[in-house]
Amino acid sequence: MFKKFDEKESVINCIQLKNSVIKGIKNQLTSLFPEIKPWLNQIIPKKDLIKIVRCHEHIEILTVNGELLFFRQREGPFLPTLRLLHKYPFILPHQQVDKGAIKYVLSGANIMCPGLTSPGAKLSPAEADTIVAVMAEGKQHALSVGIMKMSSEEIKKVNKGIGIENVHYLNDGLWHMKTYK
């Protein structure tokens, strides 16, 4: 999604949000990520300037005072950016890949089932379509944000194919876009 993302070419426009829209987004975020509820007013303060940056490919990025916090494609769910995930790592459930998968994840590849079931990997219980943080063996911070394509049980059984779709990873276009004014 953000492999060839460039701020100058990809951004279409930016709109300031009304309080009613912000309230709806906050409700959506608390239903998607229940762990975020006590921190939500700290992440999205009431008095701050909250905008949606619209980009090509129907991507929308939620910003607070220019800081990129959440993104979504089309009318899908909002996903946290890695910068936000590094500040609040408990927002998403974690799945850990082995050391051999790190370079592939950082180049934007989807996470394959064998990378989640091999020694060094830790597969936490999760259902299909769950938004997860992809961690790496021996690393403290998340490498990417992904969406489970199969449940943890299916991944263990099948051990073939794509286990997690890689949506946003370190050093992609969204990572390089630090703020938006």
Mean pLDDT along residues 131-156: 94
Q: Report the pLDDT averaged over residues 81-105.
A: 94
Label residue 4 by pLDDT band (50, 70, 90): confident
Torsion of CA 15, 20, 23, 29, to 10 degrees: -50
Listed residue (25, 29, 21, 22) closest to 131, CA to CA: 29
* Cα 165 to Cα 145: distance, rounded to the nearest angstrom: 9
Residues 121, 101: Cα–Cα separation, whole Å: 10
> What is the Cα–Cα distance from 58 to 148, expressed in whole angstroms?
21
8 Å CB contact between 116 and 149 = no
| 23-67 tens-digit pLDDT | 999 999 999 999 999 999 999 998 889 999 999 889 999 999 999
Q: Is the pLDDT of residue 8 over 80?
A: no
Query: pLDDT by residue (tens digit) across 51-63?
Result: 999 998 899 999 9
**Between residues 5 and 136, which one has the greater pLDDT?**
136
User: What fold is seen in the domain 94-169?
Assistant: Sulfate adenylyltransferase (3.10.400)
Asked if domains 11-81 and 94-169 share a fold, the reply is: yes
Q: In the prediction, which pLDDT does 140 show?
A: 92
Please report the pLDDT score of residue 153 as a whole number: 95
pLDDT attached to residue 117: 92
Check whether domain 11-81 has CATH 3.10.400.20, yes or no: yes
Calculate the average pLDDT of the chain: 92
Where exactly are the structural domains of the chain?
Answer: 11-81, 94-169
Flag whether pLDDT at 73 surpasses 80. yes
